[in-house]
Amino acid sequence: MRKKSLSLVACMFMAASSVGAAEFDEAIKNGKLSGDATITYEMRDSKKDLDVYYRDSAYSVGSAELIYKTDSFHNFNLAFGMRAYKVIWEDHKNSIGAYGPTAGKGDASSRFWNIDGGEIAVTTNAYIGYDTEKIHFKAGRQELETEWLDEHHDAITLYANPIEKLEVELIWSQSHYRMWARELFYGPDMDGFSGTINSEGGGIYKVGLTYDILDSLKVKGYTLVAPDNYSVYGAKATLALESNDFKYGGFFHYMQTDERLAQNEDGSLIDTKVYVELDGYNLGLGYIQTGKDGGWGSAYKGGENVTPFEEGDKLYNYIAIDTRTPYITLSKNIMGLSLSAIYGHSTYKLPNGSGDYKMSEFCLWAGYDITKNLNLSAILTVINEDEKDIGWAATDLTQVSSTLVYKF
């Protein structure tokens, strides 16, 4: 981390000297400060106490994030942000953390790595950027939201529009973290959760091309390469149409992995959804299918935005394979209250080939803006597992969480 910080400082001085000290000072002076103050609560009622994660638990954690971003100077900008966490209350203060003793103690450590009943602070943003009408560049710690690279990353990203309707995406990421108000995974060398993405070294590279065919139909092809470890190949088409107050559309996403390590099976994914929207009601039907032998492979190790459920654990390849999940969604805003619900039913096998098992998950999200900057949200999750599955995470579970956040 020290080397990365020194590199960022060096970039700052180089940028300042190249554009002139006076302009650099003006950009610093006109920068903007943003952030939030958040309190979150979560309670789990588990039918069986299987381990330190799938068990009865309850906790509340407060956090605050500050992000400072300079004004543009010759199209350059700098940003730095930190989030601090503090345990407010835990039902079981001495329970072992979900990922072993090094992850800390207490109920909160199941979601907040190494908080250990106390407080912790992490760097969420630390990058230098360059923006023009057709080029957007960042180098350093930043937030990503793209196929298989999600949440926080130590990365270099470039988005460019060389011709009309075409977007080029180039990314290199060294490390992946989760540093949200409701979750913190920030441990060393935790492939798939945080830390190094590619256990063989070298980070991961992504190239993506998106073309807007009809202003309503976008197609994208992409590939990710983790040298000496695995590769990911995918394509996605998104359709969005509108006729007066009637909206409809959907997407289709296919992915497969090429695993280079002998112990890993190749993975694949089919992810599709259609929706209709009328009078504020949005109804969707979706289907997710993972590979018969390797689930969705190593693709998830840099993050994923496929899982539509609050938990969705059986979609991950290290728990289940050959997962088939049809689901239905419904959302509506009612007098300022946003409501969204999803119900899905999965069939799956375990990596040892046993199955077929079944499970279902229901989630209800509710959110309300108390003021322009103050929001209260709540989530109800109900999971019904297959009693025949005596493997990991096979227990009925009810989870309730709420979050109060003030943004500025």
What are the average pLDDT values for consecutive 10-residue runs of the chain, which has 408 residues?
Answer: 50 56 83 97 90 86 98 94 97 75 80 88 96 97 96 96 96 93 72 61 93 94 95 98 94 97 93 97 97 92 93 82 96 96 95 86 98 98 90 85 97
pLDDT at 362: 98
10 is a domain residue: no
Cα 23 to Cα 21: distance, rounded to the nearest angstrom: 6
- Distances from the Cα of 398 to the Cα of 25, 45, 52, 385, angstroms: 53, 5, 16, 11
Give the Å distances, CA to CA, from 136 to 24, 139, 148, 167, 359. Answer: 20, 11, 20, 11, 43
Q: How far apart are CA 367 and CA 158, in angstroms?
A: 34
Closest by CA to 406, choosing from 40, 117, 87, 30, is: 40
Task: Please tell me what DSSP assigns to residue 57.
Answer: E
Tokens of 304: 């994923």
**Among candidate residues 294, 307, 310, the one with its CA nearest the CA of residue 361:** 310
Dihedral of CA atoms 139, 144, 150, 153 in degrees, nearest 10, equals 20
Number of domains in the chain: 1
In a domain? residue 312:
no
Is residue 92 in a domain? yes
* CA atoms of 149 and 304, how far apart (whole Å): 6
pLDDT for the residue 387: 85
The backbone region for 202, taken as left when phi is positive above 0, alpha when psi lies in -120 to 50, beta otherwise, is: left
How many angstroms separate the CA atoms of 247 and 279, rounded?
10
In a domain, 48, yes or no: yes
Alpha-carbon gap, residue 40 to 90, rounded angstroms: 12
pLDDT for the residue numbered 196: 67
Q: Do 354 and 317 contact (CB within 8 A), yes or no?
A: no
Tell whether 79 is covered by a domain: yes
42 domain-assigned: yes
The pLDDT of residue 189 is: 44
- Give the pairing type, strands 230-243 and 246-259: antiparallel
Q: How many CB atoms lie within 10 A of CB 157?
A: 22
pTM of the model: 0.91
pLDDT at 114: 82
Of 33, 27, 40, give the one whose Cα is nearest residue 65.
33
| Spatial distance between the Cα atoms of 173 and 204, rounded to a whole number of angstroms | 5
Which domain range does residue 117 map to?
Answer: 33-132
The C-alpha atoms of residue 114 and residue 105 are separated, in whole angstroms, by: 8
Inside any domain, residue 116: yes
Residue-by-residue DSSP string for 10-30: HHHHHHHHHH-HHHHHHHHHT
Residue 236 lies inside a defined structural domain of this protein: no
For 126-160, give the DSSP string: EEEEEE-SSEEEEEEEEEEEETTEEEEEEEEEEEE
> So what's the pLDDT on residue 3?
52
Question: Residues 353-373: pLDDT tens digits?
Answer: 777 899 999 999 999 999 999
| Predicted pLDDT at 98 | 61
The whole-number pLDDT of residue 358 equals: 94
Q: What is the pLDDT of residues 185-226, one digit of tens each?
A: 875 444 444 556 776 678 999 999 999 998 899 999 999 999
Q: What share of the chain is helix, strand, coil (3-state, %, to 5)?
A: 10, 60, 30
